[in-house]
């Protein structure tokens, strides 16, 4: 068993933001670490967690990008992990 050194802010984030950590853990498992918002919400099993994705973007854990559709349709918004988000997701995985 190894000891992990975690600062107080990161520990508080790991305890209080479980929903955001679920979003990050889903993105880290995807090829390319990116998913469209609708598919990400479907994998979370809830359509009402969009605010968590926006909160993660505001805090710098996710980068969002609008992508023009091929042919007809609406723009897709892809959610991609930043290096900061990847570190937090990997730390969360080690602590589970």
What predicted TM-score, i.e. pTM, was given to this entire model?
Answer: 0.80
What pLDDT does residue 1 have?
43
Asked if residue 6 has pLDDT above 70, the reply is: no
Please, what is the angle between helix 18-29 and helix 37-44, to 10°?
120
What pLDDT does residue 19 have?
85
**CATH class, 8-95 region:** mainly alpha
Please name which of 49, 83, 53, 48 lies closest in space to residue 65, comparing C-alpha atoms. 53
């Amino acid at each position: 068993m190894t000891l992990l050194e975690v600062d107080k802010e990161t520990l508080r984030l790991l305890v209080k933001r479980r929903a955001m950590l679920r979003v990050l853990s889903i993105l880290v498992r995807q090829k390319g670490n990116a998913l469209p918002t609708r598919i990400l919400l479907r994998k979370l099993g809830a359509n009402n967690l969009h605010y968590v994705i926006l909160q993660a973007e505001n805090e710098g854990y996710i980068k969002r990008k609008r992508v023009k559709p091929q042919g007809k349709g609406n723009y897709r918004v892809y959610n991609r992990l930043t290096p900061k988000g990847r570190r937090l997701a990997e730390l969360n995985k080690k602590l589970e």
